[in-house]
Structure 1
Amino acid sequence: MQRLIPTGDPQRPVAFTEAAEPVPRPDEALVRVAAFAPNRGETFLLEDPRPELLPGKDIAGLVVQAAADGSGPSMGTRVVGHPALGGWADYVAVPTDALAVLPDALDVVTAAALPLAGTTALRLLRAAGPVAGARILLTGASGGVGHYVTELAAAAGADVTVLTATPERGERLSTLGATRVVHEIAAAAGPFDLVLESIGGAATAASLALLRPGGTLIWFGQASRTPVTLNFFDFFAGPENATIRHFHYAGGPYGRDLATLVRLVAEGRLHPEIGVVADWSETARVLVDLRERRVRGKAVLTTSAGR
């Protein structure tokens, strides 16, 4: 089979190689990959790849070998999955608790855009607690996670202000339920009950200052790739009793959250924003565009099985 592996070249970060078909563990199904969606964080790993790195965490395709232990979907079932690695290939072994069955109405391109970004959004909002009526500031909102958070939070009754780099990137977020779109933190009209911060650098301190007393900032990313520095004298002089929390989405099982995302999309209640769809022969180019933030929403690559 064919697999994409790291090259170490920033301008051509992956290349095809021939590889043996993976041998699933008893609790894994073998999936023929029809589509996969790289994440921006994966592009950073490719800059100085570990020798054992086999990228690929968001996939959709067809089960060609069911798990030997009898768990999970049967052979011939269309699925979306979130393997730990190895998804940029013709075949990947996926734990059955990291799979969800796709209804006929949901195509593999849309499904592949769901796992990491969608699961992050679901779990981030669970971590935040009830958001009905809450005033939320979401930074870095034009990426894959931001689109999902905006739609899910607005549907739950939140008043969502989103921060994006340009008006073009904010247009879609307004249709997904954002109350206000701003392009610099200084334009955000606080105070906010909750800040969901994913830019890093100076943005973290600036958005923290916009919290109401007793409000919460949840830091879940560093899109700017600039370290955060906080002056705690400023923090203590700011919103009284504010809370800063760190969030990371990872931790299986993923199947239940994937099934929730699939259901919401199938019911027309969640609308993945897919900025690029291309053949996987274009993966290297798309990865560079994703790393340089030239893609709005998600990028999805299709293999021969997805055409």
Structure 2
Amino acid sequence: MLRLIPTGEAARPVAFAEVPQPVPEPGEALIKVEAFAPNRGETFLLEEPAPGLLPGKDVAGLVVQAAADGSGPGIGTRVVGHPAQGGWAEYAAVPTHSLAVLPDSIDSARAAALPLAGITALRLLRRAGSLVGRRVLLTGASGGVGHYVTELAARAGAELTAVTATPVRGERLAELGAQVVHEVAAAEGPFDVVLESTGGPDLPVALSKVRPGGTLVWFGQASRTPVTLDFFQLLGGPERVVIQHFHYAGAPYGSDLAALVRLVERGQLHPEIGRISDWAETAGRLVDLRERRIRGKAVLLTLEGR
């Protein structure tokens, strides 16, 4: 079968290779991949790929071999999945606890855009707690996570301010219910909750906008610049501010994937896909993601997904 493997080259991060079809573990189903969606964080791993790296965490396709232990969906079932790796291939072995069944109304491209970004958004908002009537600031809002957070938070009753680099990147977020600004300093605080994903100089500015007793949840460093905090300035700012670190990971993912699928099916969540391409163009789309030239998600279709 064909698999995309790392090259270590900045201009062409992956290339096709002919490899054996994966052999599933007893608790894994074999999926014929129809669509997959790379994440910007994966592009960073490809800059200096670790030995044996098999990228690919977000897939949608068809079960062609059910799990040997009897768990999960049967052969012929359409699914969305979140494997630990190996999804950029014709076939992927996915733990059944990280699969959800797809209804006919959701195509593989939209489904593939759900896993990492959607699970992150769900779990991040659970960490934030009840949002009804609360003022929320979201930085780095124009990526896949940001769109899901915006739609879910607005639907939950939050008064959301989203930070994006440009007006074009903010258009869809405004439609989803956010007030959009283009730098953290322009956000009018104070905020009950700050969801911070850019790091660098933005985090201290965002922290200064938290109300006394409020919370900042740090969940990313998209700027790729480490954060420096002046604790003398911090202690002179909001009283009793809470800083929490958040990372989405922690299987099983199946129940969260099923929740995301239900939301999409009911028209309550809309995957924001900035680019759909044939998987022969994966290398170029990875560069576009790395350089932030795609708003929302990029989705690649295999031969079966076209």
Q: Given the two structures, how large is their TM-score scaled by the length of structure 2? A: 1.00
Partner of 2:114: 114
* 1:39-188 alignment runs, 5 A limit: 39-178=39-178, 180-188=179-187
Partner of 2:294: 295
> Within 1, Cα distance between the matches of 2:14 and 2:198?
26
Partner of 2:275: 276
Structure 1's unaligned 5+ residue stretches are none
SS in structure 2 at match of 1:265: helix
> Within 1, Cα distance between the matches of 2:305 and 2:185?
44
Matched, 1:15 2:8: no
> Within 2, Cα distance between the matches of 1:237 and 1:84?
43
SS in structure 1 at match of 2:232: helix
> Within 1, Cα distance between the matches of 2:37 and 2:185?
33
Percent of paired sites with the same residue: 73
* 1:256-275 alignment runs, 5 A limit: 256-275=255-274
SS in structure 2 at match of 1:9: coil
Partner of 1:202: 201
Deviation readout 1:59-89 (Å, 9 max, x if unpaired): 0000000001110000000000000000000
**Alpha-carbon distance, 1:186 to partner:** 1.7
Partner of 1:240: 239
**Alpha-carbon distance, 1:187 to partner:** 1.1
Question: What amino acid is aligned across from residue 120 of structure 2 in structure 1?
Answer: T
SS in structure 2 at match of 1:181: strand
SS in structure 1 at match of 2:8: strand
> Within 1, Cα distance between the matches of 2:263 and 2:218?
26
**Alpha-carbon distance, 1:243 to partner:** 0.4
SS in structure 2 at match of 1:200: coil
Partner of 2:4: 4
Query: Runs ≥4 in structure 1, deviation > 4 angstroms?
Result: none
SS in structure 1 at match of 2:247: coil
> Within 2, Cα distance between the matches of 1:251 and 1:213?
31
**Alpha-carbon distance, 1:177 to partner:** 1.5
> Within 2, Cα distance between the matches of 1:75 and 1:186?
53
> Within 2, Cα distance between the matches of 1:79 and 1:87?
13
**Alpha-carbon distance, 1:184 to partner:** 1.1
Cα RMSD, aligned residues only? 0.4
Question: What amino acid is aligned across from residue 22 of structure 1 in structure 2?
Answer: P
Partner of 2:224: 225
**Alpha-carbon distance, 1:283 to partner:** 0.2
Q: Given the two structures, how large is their TM-score scaled by the length of structure 1? A: 0.99
Question: What amino acid is aligned across from residue 148 of structure 2 in structure 1?
Answer: Y
SS in structure 2 at match of 1:161: strand
> Within 1, Cα distance between the matches of 2:259 and 2:197?
24
**Alpha-carbon distance, 1:144 to partner:** 0.3
* 1:21-36 alignment runs, 5 A limit: 21-36=21-36
Question: What amino acid is aligned across from residue 122 of structure 2 in structure 1?
Answer: L
SS in structure 1 at match of 2:284: helix
**Alpha-carbon distance, 1:37 to partner:** 0.1
Deviation readout 1:33-68 (Å, 9 max, x if unpaired): 000000000000000001110000000000000001
Question: What amino acid is aligned across from residue 83 of structure 1 in structure 2?
Answer: P
Deviation readout 1:118-175 (Å, 9 max, x if unpaired): 0000000001111111100000000000000000000000000000000001010011
